[in-house]
Amino acid sequence: MTSDEKFDHVQAYHCDQLPKECKFMFNRPRPGHWPRPDTLVRARQTGVFLVPQGYTESPSKQTMSRSTAFMVPSKLTSYPYSKWQWRFSTSLMERFLIFDFSPVQVKVYTLTKIIRKTFLKPVFGDRFSTFHIKTAMMFTIENYPLDIWREDNIVQCSTSGSQSDIDLGVVSLLTPFLHNTLASMLASRCIYLGQPITQDIFNWYQQSLDSDCMSSRLKFASMLYCRGQYDEAAEVLTYCEGLLGPEVWQYCTHRERKCLSPSTEFKTKLVFCPPNEMHKKYTMVCLVFRKEEINCIPQHLTYGMFRDEDIPIWYKWKNNVVIDCIPFLYYLQHLTYRELHKPLRAQTALLHLHEYTIGPPKGHIDTTFNMLGHCFELQNRLDQAWMCYGRSLDIYDRDNVSLLHLARLFHQVFM
């Protein structure tokens, strides 16, 4: 149980003897320089904890566990499903291993966790967890020589120093997103100061374009729009629109948000394409704009960065602007074509945006309705804008900036 962000409470039974599933690490081949022999001896003596698996109590929830140990007989139908299965926790063993890290290795581990919390958690939630980082870290220390762990090599060790398979489901996904976020932050500052965007920033954007199918390109287009480079923005947006297709999946990992189900075409691609190719060509993650990127998004969306700060820790992403790729594409197209005095194309983009809102709520649909409301405002169709903001508030009535837009419209019409 988690009562706040600082403490977890776990009920557990200690087992002095190691089960065979936990003895593998002491018997498998390794280079030998880490863990040290004395560390392995102490780790072997720690025993393990037996803890509840923690699955949902819904009988329809599929379990990933293949072990039949410690199963409560299925005849006890009144026993909660989440308590049928237990697992072994090797937390004390892992503690000895981490305490055996050198000072440089501790710094690398800490830096990697900071990168995850700052840049990845707002995008992927807990799908990429500290457990993955810890596992990758131990695997790398064990398999690669001691001389790479130096003070002057900390950044390299944190991102691309290791060539292990795990460090490669981390580096290939992490690096482009970091490039894109850095480029957007620097570009935002340049726009604020009235300075030109440097070539280095454009290079960062260029290196980020393969982060996934579309999100980095949309961030680039958004920056171009905010700088008044409407022709260039329209060109990027046209390219993005060409990437759409039934085989492309838009997904969201944020709490309380429902993803669109993958299409049959996407599932077919999944069978034949390697994971990296699937991520780069056929998946779209929702965009996250932080306050440091405020000058790289249309002004109407910046209201989302100034919500109530007194919210639970798991809702902290709400103080960023988070948007789904497809509606943001149509919204940017509408704004850009208006500036280019191409009303037919602007209207087509608006129709696509409106069609996206039809059907059950998905992803960040509240933000989508707010964007649609803004488009209607630009056409002076205030009744339609009012309906869009109201619909947004109906779907998510907590920390929704549509309330500000409704108040603004009310003041505009009646005051």
pLDDT above 50 for 221: yes
pLDDT above 70 for 402: yes
Alpha-carbon distance of 209 to 65, in angstroms, equals 37
- In order, the DSSP letters of 36-105 are -HHHHHHHHTS-EEEEE----S-TTPPP-----TTPPPTT-TTS-GGGS-EEEE-HHHHHHHHHTS-HHH
- In order, the DSSP letters of 176-206 are HHHHHHHHHHHHHHHHHHTPPPPHHHHHHHH
For the stretch 258-286, pLDDT in tens is 777 788 898 888 777 877 778 788 888 88
Q: In percent, how much of the chain has pLDDT > 90?
A: 33
Contact 59, 77 (CB under 8 A): no
Can you list the positions of beta strands (E) in 125-169? Answer: none
Most confident of 57-71, 187-201, 315-329: 187-201
pTM: 0.63
Rounded to the nearest integer, the mean pLDDT of the chain is 82
Residue 25 in tokens: 């690490």
Q: Going by DSSP bridges, is the β-strand pair 287-289/321-323 parallel, antiparallel, or unpaired?
A: antiparallel
Q: In percent, how much of the chain has pLDDT > 70?
A: 81
- Give SS3 for 252: coil
For 111, the enclosing helix (H) or strand (E) is helix 103-115
pLDDT band at 307 (very low <50, low <70, confident <90, very high): low
CA-to-CA dists, residue 229 to 18, 158, 406, angstroms: 64, 36, 31
CA-to-CA dists, residue 275 to 161, 180, 269, 280, angstroms: 22, 21, 10, 9
Neighbouring C-alpha atoms within 13 Å toward the C-beta of 350: 22
Side chain identity at residue 254, one-letter code: H
Most confident of 5-9, 18-22, 386-390: 386-390
